[in-house]
Amino acid sequence: MNLVLLVSIFILCIGTSLEGASRSDVNVGAIFSFSTINGKVSSIAMRAAEHDINSDPRILGGRILNITFHDSNFSGFLGMMGALQFMETDTIAIIGPQSAVMAHVLSHLANELRVPLLSFTALDPTLSPLQYPFFVQTAPNDEFQMTAIAEMVSYYGWAEVIAIYSDDDQSRNDVITLGDKLAERRCKISYKSALPPDPTGNETDVTNELVKVRMMESRVIVLITFTKTGLMVFDAAQRLGMMDSGYVWIATAWLSTVLDSKPLLASTKSNSIKGALTLRPHTPDSKRKKDFMLRWNKLSKGSIELNPYGLYAYDTVWIIARAIKLFLDQGNTISFSNNSNLIGLGGGTLNLGALSKFDGGNQFLKNILQTNMTGLSGPIRFSQEIQDRSPLHPSYDIINVVEHGHQLIGYWSNYSGLSVVPPETLYGKPPNCSSSNQHLNDVVWPGGVTAKPRGWVFPDNGRKLRIGVPNRVSYQDFVYKVNGSDIVNGYCIDVFRAALKFLPYAVPHTFILYGDGHKNPNYNELVNKVTTGVSCNLLFNRENDELIYLTYPVILLLQDFDAAVGDIAIVTNRTKTIDFTQPYIESGLVVVAPVRKLNSNAWAFLRPFTPLMWAVTAIFFLAVGAVVWILEHRINDEFRGPPKRQIVTVLWFTFSTMFFAHRENTVSTLGRVVLIIWLFVVLIINSSYTASLTSILTVQQLSSPIKGIDTLMTSNDRVGYQVGSFAENYLIEELNIPKSRLVALGSPEEYTLALLNGTVAAVVDERPYVDLFLSDHCQFSIRGVEFTKSGWGFAFPRDSPLAIDMSTAILTLSENGELQKIHDRWLLKKSCGSETESSQVDSEQLHIQSFIGLFLICGIACFLALFIYFCLTLHQFKRYTPEDPDPSIPRSSRSARLLTFLSFADEKVERMKSKSKRKREDMSITSNGFGKETEPRNGSDRIQRDFSGEE
C-alpha cells in the first residue's frame, strides 16, 4: 500500500510540474542510467542531435524538439516511473530504456499507449517485434553478436566454451542464443556460470564462480556481462592465474566500450585484460563521422571519449525527427486522447486515467520503420520482415587487447562472415560466408603467446585419465595383460600409445581392465561405461580424489571410464552415445567355413561346366544339327542320301561346329542364319570353358557348400559368433537370423572344434580376428565377401576434444607409415594365412544360368526358322499334285495327305522341277493341240527360287 501511495504522489507531482510545457514542443523522453559509460555518452550525443535539429527550422516546420532525460539509476522502479511520467506529458516517443529488463516491462506500456520505444542498448534478442511491435532496436541486437562469437569459436577450431554471464534477462537470453549458434557449428557451451546482476555483484561472488570455472577442462571463456562486473571478473581471473597462456577470453561489446570511452580506466586494468578479444559495433568511416568526432571534445568537455553507442544515440534522435517531419507532411496532427481501458481507473490514489494515448502512434511507428538515411553510424534502414526489424547488414569490429592498447584483427558481418577487410567493401559482391574464405589477423593471446591455444587442458591437479580396456581371453594379440603385473600390451595399446606421442600435451592415464578374465567382455557394456551423466550437488575434488557435497549445481561426469581403448568396432548404435576417433584398422563381418581342396585329376577337364550345363549344351548341339538338316535337306546334296549316311552327316556337322571345322556348306538363307547364331553361341561357350579350365589347372581350388552370408540366411544351419562381439546383434536385428540358430564361441579352439564336428556350418566374425585365425587353420576359408564395412576406433565421451586430437594423431600415424609397422609387428603371420588368402577366390563351375540368354536366343532362332520353313513348304504343297497317286488310298484321307506331304518334303527340289516340267508339256498339248505352251498351274521355277534362292 505504501508503494501505491508513493507512485501516485510521484506521478501527480511530475504531472503538475510539467503542465506549463509549450504545446508547440514535440516531446521525446529518454530513460538511462547516466552514471554508466553508455548513459554519459548517449546523453551528450542526444543533446547534440537535439541542438542540430532545432537549429534547422525546416526539419520540424518551426516546432521544437524537446528531449526530457530521466535517470533510472540502475533501478527498474525508477525506470518505470520515468516512462509513466512521459506518458502523461504527451510524449510521442521514448529513447530507451538502457537495459533489457526494463524494456520487457515498458514495451507492454508502449503497446497500450501507442508510443514507440527506441533503444540502442537494450538489445535482448528475445524482444520480438511480434510481441512488442512498438519496441524498435536502432542498433544490431545481440543475436548477431552471439553469432559473431560462435563464428570465432568455430574459426579457431574450439569445440567447447564456458559462458560467464550476469543473471539478468538480457545476459541470460544472450547465453541461450549463443548456445544455439554454437550448436549450429557443432560446438557447445560446456558450463554456464551465473553472476549476480550488474552492479550488485561483489568480488567474493565472482571469485567463487571463477574457482569452479578453473576446475573445468575447457579454457575458452565467453564473458557476457556489463562494465563493473566484467572488470571485476578480469581482476579475479588474473589473481587466480586464469589470464596465463592456454586460456581464451572473449568479452562482449562492454569491453570495447571501456577501451573507447574510458582509456584511462582500461590502462589501469591493462594487465588483467591483456590478450582478451572483444567485439565493437562496426560503424563505417565517413566525413560526417569524422566531423562529429572532432566536435566531440567540445561537446563532452573532455569528460568522456566517444564510442559507437554515442553515434547510435545521435542517429536515433534523427530517426525520430525524420519520422515526425514525414508524419506532419502526411497531414497528420500530434494529438493524444484518454485510453478507454484506463477511464475507469482515473480516481483513487493512482491517477492512471491521466495516461494519454498517441492517436497517430501506428502511423508514426510505420514512418520510423521506413527510415532510409545515412547517419553517423552508417546507412540506416530496417528490415521489413515482421519477425525481424534489425538494421540491415549488422557488423562488428573484432578487437584484441594488447600491451599498450588494442588492435583491430578483423571484422564480422552477417553478409560476409569473418574478414580482414571492412564489411562495406564486400556488400557489392555476392555474399560468401564459406568457412574457407574466413580469415582474421594474428592474435596476441593471454600470456603473450601468439600460437592459437588448444582451448582445453587437463588440469595440473587433475586425476589420471581412466581408460577402460577389454580383458580378453582370446585373440590376445590385440589386447592382453602381462601375467603378474598391471601392464597392458597388444596391437591396440601400441596404436594408442603411438598416437599419444603426436599430441601437443601430456595425457596422464591409467589402464583399467574390464571383464572377469574367463570370457571376453561385452563390448556394448564397455562402451556404455564411457557415457556421461549429470549431478546437481556433487563435485569431484581432483586434489584428493574425493566426492564433496556442494550447495551450488555443477555438472559431474559419472562415467566409469574417461575413454575406452581396444578392439572396439565403430557401429551405429555405439555412435549414438559416444564419440569415436578415426578408425585405425579396417574391419567388417565375414563368413568362415570349412573347405575342401580340389586337386587336379584325370577328369578335371569336366569341372568347368556343371552336369546340367553339359547336358543342355549337348542337347543344343544335336538340336541345331537337326534344324540345319531339315532346312538343307531338299536343296543341298550334302544333306541327302541313305538314312545311315544322313545320321552320320548330322552328328558330324553338329559337333564339328564346336571347332568351326564343319565341311558341309549351307545354301539356304534360313540355314545360314541359324548357323551364324549357333557359331556365336559356340564361341562364347568355348571361351568360357577355356578360361575356367585354365583356372582349375593353375590355381588351387577350394570347395564348400557355404558360398557367403546369403547361403546362411536362406538355410537353417547353425552359425557361430565370437562372445562379446556386435555380430550377434547384427545377425539377429539386421539379417533376421533366429537367435536359436546362433552359437556363442569364445576362442579359436572353439571355432575349430565347432566347424569340424558340424556344430556350426560357419562362423561370422570381424575380419581382423578371422585373418589371425586363418593364419593357423588352413582347413578353413573366408566364403564370399565382407558384408559390412566398419573399423576399430577409441571411444571417448560425447563431444570430447581428445577424440578430435587423437583422430588427427591416428591420421599422422597412417601417413608416416608407423601404423602399418605396428600392424605388421603384431598381426602379420607367416603361416598358411597368405595361402588361404590367395585361395579365397573360388573359380566356381559355370552354371546354365550364365548362358541361358544365349541358349534362349539360339532356340528362338531355330524355332522361327522351322516355322518359316514349314509355312513355305506348306504353301508349295498346296500347289503340288502327285504324279502317280496310289489308287488304293482315297484322296480325301488324312493319312494319304500326310504321306503325300512327307513324300513331298523328302523330295529334292530339282526332281520336282523335272516332274512339273513334263506335266506342263502334257497339259500344253492337251489344251490347244498346236504345240503352244501355256503357263503351268504349279510353277516349278517358283519352287526352285523359294528353296534355292536362284532364278
DSSP string, 135-180: EEESS--HHHHHHHHHHHHHHTT--EEEEEEESSHHHHHHHHHHHH
Q: What is the pLDDT of residue 707?
A: 82
Q: Which residue has the cell 593471446?
A: 445
Q: What is the pLDDT of residue 799?
A: 77
Q: Is 449 exposed, middle or buried (0-12, 13-18, 19+ CB in 10 A)?
A: middle
Q: What is the pLDDT of residue 538?
A: 36
How many other CB atoms sit within 10 Å of the CB of residue 497? 13
Q: What is the pLDDT of residue 579?
A: 92
Q: What is the pLDDT of residue 484?
A: 76
Task: Identify the band that residue 600 occupies on the pLDDT scale cut at 50, 70 and 90.
Answer: low
- Please name which of 67, 81, 112 lies closest in space to residue 356, comparing C-alpha atoms: 112
Q: What is the pLDDT of residue 845?
A: 66
pLDDT-wise least confident of 14-28, 225-239, 512-526: 14-28
Residue 406 makes CB contacts below 8 A (sequence gap 6+) with 259, 399, 400
Tell which wins on pLDDT, 940 or 97. 97
Task: Identify the band that residue 559 occupies on the pLDDT scale cut at 50, 70 and 90.
Answer: low
Task: Identify the band that residue 910 occupies on the pLDDT scale cut at 50, 70 and 90.
Answer: low
Residue 560 confidence (pLDDT) above 90: no
Question: Which tens digits make up the pLDDT trace of 135-181?
Answer: 999 999 999 999 999 999 999 989 899 999 999 989 999 999 999 99
Across the chain, what does the average pLDDT equal? 81
Q: What is the pLDDT of residue 876?
A: 72
Q: Are 190 and 216 in contact (CB under 8 A)?
A: yes
Question: Which tens digits make up the pLDDT trace of 767-817?
Answer: 999 999 988 888 888 888 898 888 999 999 987 888 988 999 999 999 999
* Cα 665 to Cα 48: distance, rounded to the nearest angstrom: 115
| Mean predicted confidence (pLDDT) in 906-911 | 62
Task: Identify the band that residue 629 occupies on the pLDDT scale cut at 50, 70 and 90.
Answer: confident
- Please name which of 29, 105, 9 lies closest in space to residue 71, comparing C-alpha atoms: 29
Residue 395 confidence (pLDDT) above 90: yes
| Mean predicted confidence (pLDDT) in 299-309 | 93
Residue 891 confidence (pLDDT) above 70: no
Peptide bond into 199 cis (omega under 30): yes
* Cα 686 to Cα 741: distance, rounded to the nearest angstrom: 43
Q: Are 826 and 768 in contact (CB under 8 A)?
A: no
Task: Determine if the pTM surpasses 0.85.
Answer: no
Strand order in the sheet with 160-166: 188-195, 160-166, 220-224, 248-251, 277-281, 395-402, 405-413, 417-419
Q: Which residue has the cell 565375414?
A: 590
* Cα 765 to Cα 722: distance, rounded to the nearest angstrom: 6
Question: Which tens digits make up the pLDDT trace of 59-77?
Answer: 988 899 999 999 888 777 8
* Cα 194 to Cα 101: distance, rounded to the nearest angstrom: 16
Q: What is the pLDDT of residue 904?
A: 63
Helix axes 818-827, 767-774, angle to 10 degrees: 50
Residue 766 makes CB contacts below 8 A (sequence gap 6+) with 569, 587, 588, 589, 590, 722, 725, 727
| Most confident stretch, 118-127, 333-342, 527-536, 831-840 | 118-127
Question: Which tens digits make up the pLDDT trace of 79-121?
Answer: 788 878 787 778 999 998 988 888 888 898 888 889 999 999 9
What percent of the chain lies above the pLDDT cut of 90? 44
**β-sheet bridge partners, residue 123:** none
Could you say which DSSP state residue 730 is in?
I
| Mean predicted confidence (pLDDT) in 301-315 | 94
Which string of DSSP letters, residue by residue, matches 302-318?
Answer: TSS---HHHHHHHHHHH
* Cα 759 to Cα 742: distance, rounded to the nearest angstrom: 10
Which amino acid appears at position 684 of this protein? Answer: I
Residue 851 confidence (pLDDT) above 60: yes
Decide: helix, strand or coil at residue 439.
coil
Q: What is the pLDDT of residue 547?
A: 37
Category of 455 on φ-ψ map: left (φ > 0), alpha (ψ -120 to 50) or beta: left
Which string of DSSP letters, residue by residue, matches 515-562?
Answer: S-SSSPPPHHHHHHTT-----SSEEEETTTTEEEE-SS-------S-S
* Cα 425 to Cα 793: distance, rounded to the nearest angstrom: 47
Residue 287 confidence (pLDDT) above 90: yes
Which string of DSSP letters, residue by residue, matches 173-189?
Answer: HHHHHHHHHHHHTT-EE
Tell which wins on pLDDT, 951 or 517. 517
Task: Identify the band that residue 320 occupies on the pLDDT scale cut at 50, 70 and 90.
Answer: very high
